[in-house]
Amino acid sequence: MKAGLTSLILGFAAVLTAQVKPVPPPLTITHASVIDTRTGRILRNQTVVIKDGIIVSVSAAHAHGGTVIDAQGKYLIPGLWDMHVHSALTPVWDENLIYPLYIANGVTGVRDMGGDPDLLEQRRGRINRGELLGPHMIMAGPFLAGGKSSKETIAISTPEEAKTAVDTLKQRGVDFIKILSNISREVYYAVAEESAKQKIDFVGHVPIAVSVAEASTAGQRSIEHLTGFTLACSSQETEIRRQFVDARARRDFAAYVPLTQQALDTYDPAKAVSLFALLIKNNTWQVPTQVWTQTDAAIDDPKLLSDPRLKYVPKVVRDGWDPRQRLKDTSAEEMKVNKASAARDLELLKSAHAAGVLMMAGSDGPDPFIFPGFSLDDELEWLVKSGFSPAEAIQAATRKPAEFLGELGHYGVVESGLAADLVLLDANPLQDIRNTRKISGVVLGGEYYPRIELDRILAHAAELAGKP
């Protein structure tokens, strides 16, 4: 078993043991077109029998039992996983708003990448006990980062502090360690060494003082946002990295813009090919979060302020999202580099995917204009724009997360013996990935939420978001 998976699987077992929520009644879905996320094929006219929250059978036999849902003309996929969210960061969203939004959008599992650990544990417990509607959650707890400590961050500035932080979080029972980019090379390697010793995965950003190749070799399990890729594929990587490190030491962050442009201008396709081969060899996963990258590069787009999904965003949060203030603080040169970097990310993602680099879907919500639940569908669209087939995009949010978590025997595929987390769609997502938005119903742990109930959930979320 891979390092770090033992504690994660034991954590899942503890969660399942602790659940006391009522067992849902038997459910049968008939005449469904099931998307097989192992092969990408469609299994036509299938009957899916569900009991005690588990898929009992998937077959062409039309046996009935319990509540029967006629899925003639509809398509069934596994529940989606958003592998990069922050559901307990300041300003804190109401738990009765943010978590139901995931379910209403067919997201039945999330990987929370950093936040207030007390709040996350409390909320996860309420979800597991059936007191709060929400997705399965695995969590990192506080970030490991430079700067100052807070409820959401453990500051690490020395190797000793880094090792102590990893030990503390392991003892606390988090599922993995999340690092940010503002740590030194020595501190990064201390995190890597102690994580390996404690047999817990570490994931996150790649610090500027560390190359993507070094991070992969050091055992970083997943890299978020393709951090470091542009520099890693530069023919002048070593020299530009040295200048980045010097600029950071001087706190000369204005130097980052021309250095980023230099890295963009010196892209070396051969280095990219070599990097992708190393990532594949080391099984280093990527969560590209292109919806975040591309949205962040489009803050000058006036359509952002007219997005109808803003009605689901609390007013205090919505006010902080106003891009007009961000634009005042962003130079024309910086905007140009941001847009060029976003365009290069799409090219790198396309090449990495074509090479076979392991990928999962994540949104980084709720960052500005990244909407909980909704924006995972945006991410699937960006994956398709980057060369994924619709089937591969769906796999990146279903089977691939389950594989990464070591939970393919529990999630990610519509098969007997697996958890009954499902999304019933009104149209074929393999023809058009945007059809993942056309939800007829959601099954969570065997409990069926029809469209009328999902609409009620959304209406309640909008009501909560509108309160002062």
Per-residue pLDDT tens digits for 415-465: 999 999 999 999 999 999 999 999 999 999 999 999 999 999 999 999 999
Domains of the chain with CATH codes: 5-18+80-140+221-233+268-409 (3.20.20.140)
In this prediction, residue 62 has a pLDDT band, given cuts at 50, 70 and 90, of: confident
Residue 191 has pLDDT above 50, yes or no: yes
Strands (E), 113-168: 136-139, 143-145, 153-155
Q: State how far the Cα of 162 lies from the Cα of 160, in Å rounded to an integer.
A: 5
What percentage of the chain exceeds 70 in pLDDT? 95
- Reading the block at residue 244, the tokens are 């980045």
pLDDT at 151: 94
Residue 293 has pLDDT above 70, yes or no: yes
Alpha-carbon separation of residue 442 from 29, 245, 324, 358, 454 (angstroms): 12, 48, 37, 27, 8
| Partners of residue 285 on adjacent β-strands | 222
In this prediction, residue 15 has a pLDDT band, given cuts at 50, 70 and 90, of: very low
Please count the CA atoms within 13 angstroms of the CA of 129 that sit on its side-chain side: 7
pLDDT at 61: 83
pLDDT at 19: 47
Q: State how far the Cα of 122 lies from the Cα of 143, in Å rounded to an integer.
A: 18
Q: What is the per-residue burial (b if ≥16 Cβ within 10 Å, else e) of 218-234?
A: bbbbbbbbbbbbbbbbb
- Tell me the pLDDT tens digit for each residue of 128-182: 999 999 999 999 999 999 999 999 999 999 999 999 999 999 999 999 999 999 9
CA 43, distance to chain mean position in Å, is: 28
In this prediction, residue 5 has a pLDDT band, given cuts at 50, 70 and 90, of: very low
